[in-house]
């Protein structure tokens, strides 16, 4: 932690900063520059210290040096984490594809989709049973009935079921049916939920919040890792920016960046990341080329009849073509799919 003093700060105030650093159990190292003084604070304890120092008189700013996350860091674990459940493998050079409708809508729909997903060569089935919807007037999902249908589709196909859990009080129920529990973008910083899914022990697909920094994203993962559950898949799904030609802006550089910083696998969601069916397959290919460990894609047998988000769903034909293209790109960059 580097404490930058304002130019012209009296010696007395600098001395007080040094004193506070030592009082906090850290070592202070004072450095006189040409125009101002900085004080390095060295040692283990950090959280309260930064905040206390920032409020001292004469302090311009406090620059943290260490990354705030620990268990998610490559410093702690160098080998990539691989999440495996049924035939779905994510990470370590293996690219796992999860596909399915935004919402489970009926027995016919989810079984039809599951067979399409399987035949196209994907290993995971997505489908929302509990749906977080911006408007209280929108379809809120089939709830437990939807979970039962997902389980039936899994029995019929062997696909791993990936579904969102929106509330701590549903974790136990969802865990009975799901193979992977998804925490949605709106809940990335719902800490009681993160702890509860962590404790449930299933693999967790954690979506990036649309205004989350990388540090905030990894700290959210840290809440899960701290429960002892190491099976966390990060998912880039787009951020809020000024761009209005897509629903969100999909910043694929987060894939190689996260690979530098964390051992956790990184998936990409090109459906929410663009919000336009016509852009999804191309961005799926780009995500693979960026080194993504997985894809999660919305498809629907009849997008125009979807109860939610049909405008970003691929048709079965478009999905099959996407799979063929992604496989070629995966080979080109040395990933197995």
Determine if 319 is a binding residue for a copy of itself (CB under 8 A).
no
Q: What is the DSSP string of 76-139?
A: T--SPP-EEETTEEEBTTB-EEEEE-SB---HHHHHHHHHHHHHTT--EEE-BSS---SSTTS-
Single residue of 104, 313, 322, 337 touching a copy of itself by CB under 8 A:
313
What are the Cα distances from residue 335, in Å, to 81, 91, 251? Answer: 15, 10, 20
Determine if 31 is a binding residue for a copy of itself (CB under 8 A).
yes
Single residue of 90, 113, 122, 287 touching a copy of itself by CB under 8 A:
287
Determine if 122 is a binding residue for a copy of itself (CB under 8 A).
no
Taking CB under 8 A as the criterion, which residues in 194-213 touch a copy of itself? Answer: 209-211, 213
Single residue of 147, 239, 267, 322 touching a copy of itself by CB under 8 A:
239
Cα 97 to chain centroid distance, Å, stands at 15
- Residue located via tokens 């080109």: 332
Nearest distance from C-beta of residue 155 to a copy of itself, angstroms: 29
How far apart CA 28 and CA 276 sit, in angstroms, is 54
Taking CB under 8 A as the criterion, which residues in 154-183 touch a copy of itself? Answer: 166-169
Phi-psi region of 167 (alpha: psi -120 to 50; beta: other; left: phi over 0): beta
Taking CB under 8 A as the criterion, which residues in 38-97 touch a copy of itself? Answer: 38, 40, 42-44, 47-48, 51-56, 63, 65-66, 68-70, 75
Nearest distance from C-beta of residue 256 to a copy of itself, angstroms: 4
Residue among 218, 116, 95 nearest 159 (CA): 116
Single residue of 91, 291, 294, 316 touching a copy of itself by CB under 8 A:
291
Contacts of 213 (CB under 8 A, 6+ apart): none
Determine if 148 is a binding residue for a copy of itself (CB under 8 A).
no
Query: Which range touches a copy of itself (CB under 8 A), out of 111-119, 120-128, 146-154, 301-309?
Result: 301-309
310 secondary structure, DSSP code: G
Single residue of 310, 318, 320, 321 touching a copy of itself by CB under 8 A:
310
Q: Applying CB under 8 A, what is the total number of residues that bind a copy of itself? A: 111
Taking CB under 8 A as the criterion, which residues in 255-284 touch a copy of itself? Answer: 255-257, 260, 273-274, 276-279, 282-283
What are the Cα distances from residue 222, in Å, to 24, 73, 259? Answer: 25, 9, 16
Q: For residue 94, what are the β-bridge partners?
A: 91, 336
């Amino acid at each position: 932690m580097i404490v930058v003093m304002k130019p012209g700060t009296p010696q007395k105030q600098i001395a007080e900063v040094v004193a506070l650093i030592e009082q906090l159990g850290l070592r202070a190292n004072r450095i006189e520059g040409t125009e101002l003084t900085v004080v390095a604070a060295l040692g283990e304890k950090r959280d309260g210290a930064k905040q206390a120092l920032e409020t001292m008189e004469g302090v311009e700013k406090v620059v943290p040096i260490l990354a705030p996350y620990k268990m998610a860091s490559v410093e702690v674990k160098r080998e990539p984490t691989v999440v495996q459940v049924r035939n779905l493998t994510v990470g370590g050079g293996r690219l796992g594809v999860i596909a399915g409708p935004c919402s489970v809508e009926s027995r016919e729909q989810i079984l039809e989709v599951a067979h399409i997903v399987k035949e196209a060569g994907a290993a995971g089935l997505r489908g929302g049973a509990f749906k977080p919807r911006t408007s209280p007037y929108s379809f809120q999902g089939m709830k437990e009935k939807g979970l039962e249908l997902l389980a039936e589709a899994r029995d019929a196909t062997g696909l791993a079921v990936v579904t969102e859990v929106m509330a701590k009080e549903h974790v136990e129920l969802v865990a009975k049916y799901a193979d992977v529990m998804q925490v949605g973008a709106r809940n990335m910083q719902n800490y009681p939920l993160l702890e509860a899914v962590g404790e449930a022990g299933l693999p967790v697909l954690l979506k990036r919040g649309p205004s989350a920094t990388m540090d905030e994203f990894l700290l959210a993962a840290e809440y899960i890792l701290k429960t002892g559950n190491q099976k966390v898949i990060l998912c880039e799904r787009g951020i809020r920016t000024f761009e209005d030609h897509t629903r969100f802006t999909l910043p694929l550089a987060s894939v190689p960046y996260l690979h530098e910083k964390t051992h956790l696998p990184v998936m990409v969601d090109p459906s929410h990341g663009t919000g336009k069916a016509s852009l999804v397959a191309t961005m799926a290919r780009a995500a693979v080329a960026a080194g993504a460990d997985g894809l999660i894609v919305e498809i629907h047998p009849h997008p125009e009849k979807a109860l939610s988000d049909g405008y970003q769903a691929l048709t079965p034909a478009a999905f099959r073509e996407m799979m063929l293209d992604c496989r070629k790109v995966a080979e080109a960059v040395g990933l197995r799919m």
